[in-house]
Structure 1
Amino acid sequence: MKNVIFIMISVFFYSCQQKEIKNNSAKVQDTITIQKNRKENKQIDDTIFMNFKNAKGLYTAEGQLDSIHPRVFIKFKNEILGELNGKIILATDNGNIRFNQIIFPDNSSDGPFGKDLQIQLTQKGNHIIIVGHSQMADNPYWGKFKVQLENSKE
C-alpha cells in the first residue's frame, strides 16, 4: 500500500513539472517574438538593448534605477568608428546619476563620466555602458531616466 501511494505521488509531481516546463518555454518564445516585433529600446530587468534608432538617428530609451537594480547596463552594437555622444535626461536636474563606465569589445573599459558622455569609439562590436549613481556622492538616485546615444563618423 505504501508503494502504491509513493508511486502515485511521484507520478503527480512529474506531471505537474512537465506542464510548468511547457508553459515557461511558451512564455520565453512569446517574449522573444514581442521583442523582435517591437521597434523601441526598452529596459528588461537591468539591461537596455539599444537596437533601434528614432527618426533623428538617435538611440533613445527610458530606464529606471531602484534598490533591486542600482545599475543599468546599456548594450549596443557599434558599426561606425567615430565619436559617441551620450546624455542622461532627468525630470529634475539634480539627481545623483551618471555614466559610470563603458566596456569595449576587447573588454577594456573607461570611465567614470558625468551625465554627458563624449568618447571616441575605435573598435567595432558590442559595447556596454553602465549607468548608476556616483559612489562618491550622497543620496543615490532612484527613479526613471532617459538615455540618448548618438554615434557620428569622424
Structure 2
Amino acid sequence: MKKSVFLIIPLLTASCSKQSSEAQQMEDSLTSVVNTEVKRKDSVSKPIAEDSLQTEHVKNAGEAVKILNAEKLPCTIDQKFDAKIQKLVIRIPNYSKPSIHGSISTQNNNMNVRFNQIKLSDGTYDGPFGKEISYQIKNKGEIWLIVGKNLMAEGAVEGDFSVTVE
C-alpha cells in the first residue's frame, strides 16, 4: 500500500503542474487577444489632431475612413476608388452646427459615386442622397457621411473624386 501511494503522489504532482502550464498558456493567449482588442479600439478613438484631416484605412471592409475636425470646416478631401476601396466614411466628431452641406466632384463625369447615407449623433441613418447633400442637424455629436457607389445607376466605379464638406 505504501509503495502505491509513493507512485501516485508524483503522478498527481506531474499532472497538476501540466494543467497549470496549460492554464497559463490559455491565460497568456487570452491576454494577447484582449490587448489586441484594446489597441484596435484605441486606434479607432484617436483624438482629433490640429490638422483638419486624419486618415484611417480599414483594409478588410474595403473602405477608407477620414476624420475631419469640425472646427476646420470647410474642407475638401481627395479620394480614389479602386478595386479595394469602394467606400469612404467621413467622420466628424463634435459637430455642433445646425446643418451640414457636402458636394462630390468627379474627374470623370460618368463616375458612379454619391452620398449613400448620413449617420447622425443619435445613431440613426438617413439616405440615400445624390452628389450633393444639405442636411439639418438636430443634435450635437459625431456625424458620419458615407460615400459610395449608387447601386441603382450605371457608370464607372473606379476613379478619382473630391468631397467638399461645409
TM range (shorter): 0.5 to 0.7
Deviation for aligned residue 1:43: 5.5
Deviation for aligned residue 1:133: 1.1
Q: Among residues 132, 139, 150, which one is paired with 1:124 in the alignment?
A: 139
Q: Does the aligned pair in 2 maintain the 1:134–1:140 contact within 8 Å?
A: no
Q: Does the aligned pair in 1 maintain the 2:67–2:91 contact within 8 Å?
A: yes
Relative to its length, the structure with more helix (as a share) is 2
Letter in 2 for 1:122: I
RMSD: 3.7
TM-score, normalised relative to structure 2: 0.59
Higher RCO, Cα 8 Å, sep 6+? 1
Identity, % of aligned positions: 21
Larger Rg: 2
Which ranges in structure 1 are unaligned for 5 or more consecutive residues? Answer: 1-28
Q: Distance in 2 between matches of 1:37 and 1:78?
A: 15
Letter in 1 for 2:165: L
Deviation for aligned residue 1:145: 1.6
Letter in 2 for 1:44: H
**1:85 maps to 2:101:** yes
Letter in 1 for 2:153: A
Report how many residues are paired: 144
Matches within 5 A, 1:3-152: 39=51, 40-42=53-55, 44-45=57-58, 46=63, 47-51=65-69, 57-76=73-92, 77-82=94-99, 84-106=100-122, 107-113=124-130, 115-117=131-133, 119-126=134-141, 127-150=143-166
2:3 match: none
Q: Distance in 1 between matches of 2:164 and 2:156?
A: 21
Secondary structure of 1:138's partner? coil
TM-score, normalised relative to structure 1: 0.62
Q: Distance in 1 between matches of 2:119 and 2:95?
A: 12
CA 1:61 to 1:138, structure 2 compared with 1: closer, same or farther past 3 Å?
same
